[in-house]
Amino acid sequence: MQLRSLLSESLQDTPDRHSIKAQLITQKRDDAFLEQIVSRLSLESGVVSASWQIIEQESP
C-alpha cells in the first residue's frame, strides 16, 4: 500500500474542524485491511466520522 496524496481542509461552516482525505495505491484490493485502518482512525479522540471508498480501479 502506498500513499498517493494527503489533503487537509477546514470545513466551511466550522473552521475549527477539518476534513482529511488520503488517496492510496495498492497492488491488489484488500477491503478488510482498509476497513481495519479506518476503524482504528475512528477511535481517535476528536474524530467525528471516518469512511473509505474506491474512487477508481486501474486495469492490470
Per-domain residue ranges for the chain?
Answer: 2-42
Cα 26 to Cα 3, 8, 16, 55, 56, distances in angstroms: 9, 22, 32, 13, 12
- pLDDT at position 35: 94
- pLDDT at position 59: 62
- pLDDT at position 5: 93
- pLDDT at position 56: 72
* Residue closest to 14 by CA, chosen among 53, 50, 46: 46
pLDDT tens sequence for the chain (60 residues): 899 999 999 988 887 888 999 999 888 889 999 999 999 999 998 888 899 988 876 665
